[in-house]
Every structure is written in C-alpha cells, then in structure tokens.
Amino acid sequence: MWKLLVYLKDYKKESVLGPLFKLLEASFELMVPLVMASIIDKGIGGGDTGYVFGMGGVLLLLAAVGLASSLTAQYFAAKAAVGFSTKMKSALFRHIETLSYAEIDRLGSTSLITRMTSDANQVQSGVNLVLRLFLRSPFIVLGAMIMAFTIDVKAALIFVVAIPLLSIVVFGVMFASIPLYRKVQTGLDRVLGITRENLTGARVIRAFGKEEEEIDTFEEANVALNRVQMFVGRISALMNPLTYVIINGATVVLIWTGAVRVDTGLITQGAVVALVNYMSQILVELVKLANLIITVTKAIACGNRIQDVFEVETSLPDEVSEREYLERSSGQEKAPEALSVPADDAVVFDHVGFTYQQSSEEAISDITFTAKKGEVIGVIGGTGSGKTSLVNLIPRFYDITSGKLSVDGVDVRQYPLARLRGKIGVVPQKAVLFYGTIRSNMQWGRPDATDEDIWEALVTAQAADFVRAKEGGLDALVEQGGKNFSGGQRQRLTIARALVKKPDILILDDSASALDYATDAALRKGIRENLRGTTLFIVSQRTSSLLQSDRIIVLDDGGVVGIGTHDELLAGCEVYREIYESQFGKGGVSK
C-alpha cells in the first residue's frame, strides 16, 4: 500500500497545506473552552454584560477563521486525493496493458475491474480523509490534554488515563479489521464475477432455463460476502460504544473531581466547564478518528490489492527496444540473423511446445512447419486441440516454452513487441468493437487510414453493403461492444479492421463462424485477391473454409497429425477425414 504513495509526489504542496490548515483550524478550536471559561468566571460571575458580548464576538471570529481554514484544507486535500487517484489508475491501467494473456487469465478480468474501480475509489477516500483528519484528531486529543494541565494538574490526570485506554481500543480494532477487509474485497470479486457472467450470458441462461440455478449461485456468494461483512462490521462496531463508555466514564469522574475542587476553592466553575469541553472535544475527535481508521483500514486492504497487481511482472517482457533492434539491423529492414534463412519464409515453427501457467500438460507440443510468404495456411482440429493456442504464439500473446518460433527469420523474442505486432493482423474468435464510429474502429490498426482504404477493406470483408445502409455511413455510431450490430456484421467489421492495417501476416481465428457459406466463400475469395503478398492463417471448424488453402494443418490433442492439401489429407489423415465426413457425410462433396 505504502508504495502507492509515490503517486502523491506531484501534489506535495497540497499534501502539506491541507493538514496545516486543518491544524490551524484545530488550534482555534482549542481556544474556545478557554474563552467560555473566561465568559463564565468574569462575565457572568462578575455581572459584566459588555464583557460577555465582547468575548461572544471573539467566539464568532474564531468560528469564522476556523471555517475558512477548514474549507481551504478541504480544497487542498480533495485536489491531492483526486490527483493521486487519477495518476494511480492511469499507472495501473498502463501496467495491466503490459501483462500477457497468462497474467490476465490468472488475475481474472473481474478482479482487475474491481481493483481499477471500487478499490481505487476506496484508496482515494482514504487519502482524502488522512490528509484532513489524521493529524487534526491526534493534535486536538493531545492539545486538549495539554490545555487541561494548564487549567488543573490533578483533574488533567483523568485525561492521562482515558487517552491510552481509548488508543488501545481504536488501534486494537484497526489491526483486527485489516485482514478481514481484504476478505471482503475478495468476496466482492466473486459476486461481481457471477454478476458479470450472468449479464453477458443472459441469453444462454434463459435458453437453458437456468435462471433459478444462477439465482441460487448468486445468493450463495452474496450470503458468504454478507457473512464476512457482518463479522468485520461487528468488530468495527465495537469501537464507538467502547470509546463512548470510556469518555463518558472519564467525564463523570472529571465532573465529580471538579465539583470537589470548586468547593475547596482550588479551581473556578469556568475551569470545570472548560475541562468538560476539552473532554467532549476528545470524544468527538476520537469518534472521528475511529471512523477514519475504519476507512483507512479498508483503504489499506484495497491498496494492498492494487499493489499486488503492480507487483505482477509480465511473462512477456519487451526484451528488445526499437532502438536496439534498429541498431542491430544496421538500417536494414531485417535483423542480420534473418539473412541466413530463405527470403520467402514468413513463419517458422521449429519443434515448438507451449504450456499454460499452472498447467502440468502441454497445450501444444513439438509443432514444426514453415509458412511461406503469401501462403494460405488452414488450421483445423477438434475442440481443445490447440488451434487458438497455436496462432496466439505468432504475435507473442503467449511465450513458447520450448523450441523456436521465427517471423521473417527472426525469433519473435528478438522483436520489439510493437514492431512484431505491427506486422500481424489478428481477428480473434470473439468479435469486439469499441464505442465510437465505424471509421474510428477501422482506424485502430492505421490511424492515418483514408476513407478509400477503409472502404476497400469493407468491400473485401463483405461489410460494405450494410455500412452504406447505415445512416451516416462510416460515421455511424458503434455502441459499446458493437451491440447495435448482428453477430455476422460484427465479425465482418472486425475482419475489415484487420485488413485496413494491411499486415504481412493475417490470422483469422474462427472469425467467420457467424457467416453463411456464401458470404464466407466471398470473404475468402476477396482476401486472396486483395492480399496476395500476405501470409494468411485461417483457423476454422469448417472444412469448407479451408478447401482452397495452400496447406492445412490438422491438430489433435496439441500435436500435428497431418499437413497437406485438402485432397492429400482426405486420403491420408484419419482425423481430417472424420471432421470432413461429419460435416458433409461419407463420400460427400463440399459446396
């Protein structure tokens, strides 16, 4: 948590002035009981009305100056807290963007969202309250005790006993609560995860009539979260009654002691009132401090969760900077090691193996093949055979665990990530569009793409007709996630987005599954005609989508069981033949 305070460095002035103005306000507040004692002893006791009104004016002045100091402190504290939160969230988001798929899979997208929003807001509130109250409350508590000693030493000894007792209660509750609030946030992660899963999968849940089961699952997680919250709430709730008991007990003893000392003439009635006021100030400030500590406890727990994300190092470090790459390349388009391989080798898998984190078995193993420039490579296999894992290694979304993988003759780990991924266009299984316009979505890969470039890509992706039909054309609104488009339209737009980039290597990862056969065929024909120099990887469950591929790679249980053309595999690969016949029947012919 404390490492996060580095994001306050640009707000040093605000972080100092906020507490200072709060201490100034507290100083004026500590003067009030002395003024009240003077009014009672000299004004009321002596029957001097003018003195009462005069000192009343002093009280009003103290109140006005205190209010101005408080507002100033609030301004600086809020500015520092909001600025801190903004910088922390920005840094957290930048760090998350550097993580590989493996780390994001491990942390979980729901947990990351919670840490970016709920946890970050809790930390912001904690910083704000600390700047305003963390010095003010102890200052008034200690100041009130010191002022009490200036009035009467014997009566002030009651403060010496009460304040340590209060400190034990406050800090005891704090230390007991910190680990429990961490459990609360973990439980919140689970509830949010179930909520997110149900909202995104609402149609599937209704299609299978699983509403009641999902409600029960949510109730179970919600009850578990409630149970932890109730437990930590009971511990936190002990703070106020215990502090009130100690303070009120001390007040009773103080009044009794004061009455005895007033009878003996050792102190005045005004002094007793001042002592009681100081005790009341201590009560108010300790209640504030108790609530502050509860908030700070939550903030520390949330801050630790955020810090945990910062401490996760990516398994895909950008080992080579752009400058190093260019220096090594000596101004050539390719690095020197690429000069020793055939010029038309685009992608080379050399005994490549890959294992997911926290998995004991390889997802793919001993993969060896070469894709030439301009070739169309089909990838097919049963569910879980490793098709997506295979193509995700090319843009280095995951790092291989054995063997060697090269792009244009250079090991993928020897590329700057931006340069490597700049060569590759990827259309993932799930079609994702972003809020904005069709034009802004199409320009993701090439910010300088012209309308002509975009329309060319839309025509190739068979998306031009429905885009022209939209009001505004390229300026038509794309809602979050592209929910104002059908599944097939989203897929064609994501393909067009990759085509606008004009990549050297294009990966279509089962990205035409929502298209009919005619549109799918037209799409593949358009890509072949307009991207002749591009190496194309098509991952598909449909054999019809791969018939015209130069070569088809057949995967089974993470290994290659066949490489060849459609006719060669049909004659010599049992796995491919089974897939083909399951779709077209034994002896069937695709159309």
pLDDT in tens, the chain (591 residues): 678 888 988 898 999 999 999 889 888 888 888 888 888 878 787 777 888 888 889 889 988 998 999 899 999 999 999 999 999 999 999 999 888 888 888 888 878 888 888 889 989 999 998 888 888 888 888 888 888 888 888 888 888 888 788 778 877 877 787 778 778 878 887 888 888 888 878 888 888 888 899 999 999 999 999 998 898 888 878 877 887 788 788 888 888 888 888 888 788 888 888 888 887 887 778 777 777 877 887 888 888 889 999 998 887 776 666 677 666 665 454 544 444 456 688 999 999 999 887 777 888 999 999 999 989 999 998 888 889 899 999 998 888 889 999 998 888 888 888 888 889 999 988 888 999 999 999 998 888 899 999 999 999 989 999 999 988 899 999 998 888 898 889 989 999 999 998 899 999 988 877 788 888 888 888 888 888 788 999 998 888 888 888 999 999 988 999 999 998 998 888 999 988 888 877 655 544
Task: Tell me the two tokens of residue 420.
Answer: 């490597």
DSSP 8-state symbol, 362: -
* Count of beta carbons in the 10 Å neighbourhood of residue 234: 9
What tokens does 101 get?
A: 């798929």
Instruction: Give yes or no for a contact between 17 and 75, defined as CB atoms under 8 angstroms apart.
Output: no
Handedness of CA 513, 515, 519, 523 (dihedral sign): negative
pLDDT at 339: 42
Which single residue is written with the structure tokens 């050297």?
504
Residue by residue, DSSP assigns 427-488 as: E-SS----SEEHHHHHTSS-TT--HHHHHHHHHHTT-HHHHHHSTTGGG-EE-GGGTTS-HH
Buried-state track 472-501, b at ≥16 Cβ within 10 A, e below 16: eebebebeeebeebeebbbbbbbbbbbbbb
Q: Which residues pair with 564 in a beta bridge?
A: 552
Q: How far apart are CA 351 and CA 403, in angstroms?
A: 5
CA gap 583, 360 in Å, rounded: 34
What tokens appear for 141 in the block? Answer: 């508590």
Return the half-sphere exposure (C-beta side, CA atoms, 13 A cut-off) of residue 379: 26
| Calpha distance 161→164 (Å, rounded) | 6
Write the single-letter amino acid at 51.
Y
- Tell me the two tokens of residue 474: 């390229």
Contacts of 469 (CB under 8 A, 6+ apart): none
| Region of residue 357 (phi > 0: left; psi between -120 and 50: alpha; otherwise: beta) | beta
How far is the C-alpha of 541 from the C-alpha of 548, rounded, in Å?
Answer: 15
Please give the DSSP secondary-structure letter assigned to residue 152. -
CB atoms closer than 10 angstroms to residue 464: 18
Contact 281, 140 (CB under 8 A): yes
| Parallel, antiparallel or unpaired: strands 376-381 and 535-539 | parallel
- Could you give the 3-state DSSP secondary structure of residue 279? helix
In DSSP terms, which residues pair with 381 in a beta bridge?
555
Q: Is 494 helix (H, G, I), strand (E, B) or coil?
A: helix
pLDDT of residue 338: 46
Helix (H) or strand (E) holding 563: strand 559-564
How many helices and strands in the chain, by DSSP H and E?
21, 12
DSSP for residue 412: G
Measured distance CA(252)–CA(270) in Å, rounded = 17
Distance CA 310, CA 26 (A): 38
Query: Minimal CA–CA distance to 519: which of 544, 501, 536?
Result: 544
Quick one: tokens of 545? 């989508």
Q: Can you give the pLDDT at residue 326?
A: 67
Structure-derived torsion over alpha carbons of residues 247, 248, 252, 254, reported in degrees to the nearest 10: 20
**DSSP output for 312-356:** PPPSS---S-HHHHHHHHTTSSS-GGGGGS-TTEEEEEEEEEE--
Residue 508: CB atoms within 10 Å = 27
**Interacting residues of 558 by C-beta distance below 8 A, sequence separation 6+:** 362, 363, 364, 365, 385, 386, 389
The whole-angstrom separation of Cα 120 and Cα 504 is: 41
436/10 Cα distance (integer angstroms): 33
Identity (one letter) of the amino acid at 438? I
CB atoms inside a 10 Å sphere around CB 458: 25
> Is 426 strand, coil or helix?
strand
Are 408 and 345 in contact by the 8 Å Cβ rule? The answer is yes
CB 423, CB 407: distance < 8 Å? yes
Using DSSP bridges, classify how beta strands 364-372 and 345-354 pair: parallel, antiparallel or unpaired: antiparallel
Query: Which residues fall within 8 angstroms of residue 320, CB to CB, at 6 or more apart?
Result: 328, 413, 414, 415, 416
Name the DSSP class of 113. H
CA gyration radius, the chain? 35
CA quadruple 163, 169, 172, 175: dihedral sign: negative
